Chains A and B, each alone.
Chain A
Amino acid sequence: MATLNIMVGQEQGNVPVTVLRVEGDIDAATHKDLQDKAAEVIEKGATHILLDLGGVDYMGSAGFRAIHAVSNMLSDEESSGLSKSPYLKLLNPTDAVARVIKTLGFDVYLDIYQDRSEAVNAF
């Protein structure tokens, strides 16, 4: 059965940041793994999540549904409008994944970083 490998890390920037490092293909068979893991860390108190996509070779629309759901889980009244989410950021997507992020307009909502410490300190 197709599954995602998701490692949870903790970093301290201006705020505590939970890093989810995802490895595998995020498709309709696996996207719920990401959603469930994010729900689990949020339940345990995570308020700021950095999603490390460096190990994701493929992400289709199901992956974006998961990211959308995670963003909604973290959002509050302050995160309305078209401003970037203060609670969810993306790290190191491959070129192919970055292209889809742009095509679907998710770069309008989510900051994308190549450098982990820069990303952590951006929260």
Chain B
Amino acid sequence: MSTGQVFDLSVTASLENLQKVRQYIDHVGSSLGVNDEAMGDLRLVVDEAVTNVIIHGYGDNDGVVEVHMEAEGDSVIIRIRDHAESFDPSHVNAPKLDTALKDRPFGGMGIFLIKKMTDEAEFLPLGGGGNEIRLVKHGVI
């Protein structure tokens, strides 16, 4: 059953706004009663997802990123929406954790962390252009 608690944040697609996004997650997470360990995970996955939207989605273009966070039972559902080019994370290789660091390629860590630290992570193209990332973490409230 949904608690109906929905919070919205809209920021311009600038890396300078990442801190504001993390503060929003902290603020909403604490009012929803999310536990400390999950708060750290949610702050991280949202930062990673929004970073990808800004760098890979919008690139040099201006745009807006919206974040919606709500509770459903003991779960938290976060939606991140943009109007950027589609970004398909299935093309991103996971980091090679068993390779010497100097031989390990850069990149892929953000998507890896998002998948690792959520129970569900969906990357959906929106009908009218843009994308929605839906992140769910269970048992956190």
Interface residues, chain A, with chain B CB atoms under 8 Å away: 1-2, 25, 27-29, 58, 60-62, 64-65, 68-69, 71-72, 75, 79-82, 85, 95-96, 99-100, 103-106, 108-109
Contact = CB atoms under 8 A, between A and B. Distances in A.
Interface in B1-58: 15-16, 18-19, 22, 37, 40, 43-44, 47-48, 51, 54-55
Contacts of B99: 82
Interface footprint category on B? 20 to 34
A91 to B, nearest CB: 18
Interface string B94-115: 0101111111101101101100
Interface of B: 15-16, 18-19, 22, 37, 40, 43-44, 47-48, 51, 54-55, 95, 97-104, 106-107, 109-110, 112-113, 116-117
* A25, A58, A69, most chain B CB atoms within 10 A: A58
Contact of A96 (B40, B51, B98, B113): B40
Nearest to B103: A80
